[in-house]
Amino acid sequence: MKIAIASDFHLGYDRFREDAFKQAEEALEAASKVADAIIIPGDVFDMRVPKPDVLAEAINLFRNLSKKDWKARVIEVKAANRAYTSVPVIAIPGTHERRAQGAENPVNLLGLAGLLVDVSDGYAVIEKGSEKAMVFGIGGVAEERFLDTITGLNPKPMPGHFSIFMFHQSAYELLPFSDDFIHLDQLPVGFDLYVNGHIHNRVEKKVHGKNFLIPGSTVLTQLKDGEQEGKGFFVFDTSTGMYEFHKITSRRFVVAKLHADGKSADELGAEIRRAIDAAVGSKGDVPIVRVEVDGSLKKGVRSIDVDFQGIAKEYQGNALVEIVKPGMESIETNTDVEALRKGSLENMSVKDYGLGIFVEKLKASKYSLDISPSELFELLSEDASKDKVLKKALEQLFSS
């Protein structure tokens, strides 16, 4: 049985909304042609409460999949939510879809509509002829709760089935930022394949002697070095244990690293333009070009003497340019690109970085209320009216 692994579509992503939709569509369409089933480890959407037109886009994407003549089918589901389809498209919600406990998330809504199978906190069995595969899924949860969640659910491989463990979390070996992040050797043992989302660049490792795969996002998001590689999805063959990465059409992303050492404003400006021209080339597309400049300019010359914003605007229509100024944290971009989501580590989103700081600050203050720091963070960042959210947060805070 061939199983496609595609993740982190981020439908509705404001910065590159059209890219997000087109590239998710291409990934799902291509995967459905070469695989018997598709599994999606989270972040189908970019927000907890997608706008109606974003939901409509997602419904159309997954409805098209449900119309295909699948040779495999889902024959058994035991999870937190009931399944309403046998189409072998299996997903879990990610961190961008995570909501306060008890609230519906948009991936679950697609499951209720019979467009996919949500295997949160449980499993589904896929059958194709005499072959059977089991996918156990845990949707994105607060990092400090993930190990307890694993312990509580006690996931186990299913005898006679190719068993897959699918989740959506940070991993300490990939993001050594917080002690709350799971260590890969803490994942449940005995599974034939481990699949994660959340990380936006491709990862291929081993866990408990078995393959551990992260396909990366299908759309550019954080604009970091790791995202210069092509976007796409994995296809894993359960009979041979072999897998391959299938690339999709995605916007080119080029990082140019320059040194300002001893240069005048005009010299640095000219070097930046040459780097952008080289990145744009003659391909006829509109790439994203990130120019990183470090070092110190010629004595007496300040970074504000270089018209970074003006240079970026010169390339409107030919490239989406952002320039990181020397010795500065601020970022200049042309009007087509928003300010970057900045994190302290490669592959970490600003949300995860902010959550980490929030949790550490509460721990330092000896926070000891019933609601976990991560759940409080999610509650306070819910997409709803401030009064309603604050009221609910205060009720949780003082319920004890």
φ, ψ of residue 245 to 5 degrees: the values are -100, 130
Cα(62)–Cα(54) distance, rounded to whole angstroms? 13
DSSP H/E element including 222: none
AA identity, residue 399: S
- Going by the DSSP 8-state scheme, the letter that residue 45 receives in this structure is B
105 Cβ contact partners less than 8 Å away, ≥ 6 residues apart: 48, 93, 97, 98, 99, 139
Q: What are phi and psi of 142, to 5 degrees?
A: -55, 135
- Write down all domains in the chain, each with its CATH number in brackets: 2-247 (3.60.21.10), 253-333 (no CATH), 350-397 (no CATH)
Print the SS3 string covering 355-383. HHHHHHHHHHCCCCCCCCHHHHHHHHCCC
pTM across the whole model: 0.78
- Output the CA torsion sign for 166, 168, 169, 171: positive
| pLDDT tens across the length of the chain (400 residues) | 999 999 999 999 988 899 999 999 999 999 999 999 999 999 999 988 899 999 999 999 999 999 999 999 999 999 999 999 999 999 999 988 876 666 689 999 999 999 999 999 999 999 999 999 999 999 998 888 999 999 999 999 999 999 999 999 999 999 887 888 999 999 999 999 999 999 999 999 999 999 999 999 999 887 776 667 889 999 999 999 999 999 999 888 999 999 998 999 999 999 999 999 999 988 888 999 999 998 888 888 888 889 999 999 999 999 999 898 745 433 344 444 443 333 334 445 555 656 666 666 666 666 665 566 666 666 565 554 455 555 555 565 555 4
* Nearest-angstrom CA–CA distance, 151 and 308: 52
Task: Please state the separation of Cα 87 from the chain's center in Å.
Answer: 24
Only one residue has tokens 């971009």, namely 333
Q: Which strands make up the sheet holding 288-294, listed edge to edge?
A: 253-259, 288-294, 320-324, 331-333
Question: Cβ contacts of residue 310 below 8 Å, gap of 6+?
Answer: none
Which of 71, 34, 30, 66 is closest to 236 using CA atoms? 34
3-state secondary structure of 5: strand
Task: Tell me the β-bridge partners of 76.
Answer: 125
For residue 108, what pLDDT is reported?
A: 92
Alpha helices in the chain (DSSP H): 17-34, 52-66, 106-112, 143-153, 265-280, 308-314, 350-364, 373-380, 386-397
Strand partners, 294: 259
Q: Which long-range contacts (CB under 8 A, 24 or more apart) does 207-213 make?
A: 211/236, 211/241, 211/243, 212/184, 213/5, 213/243
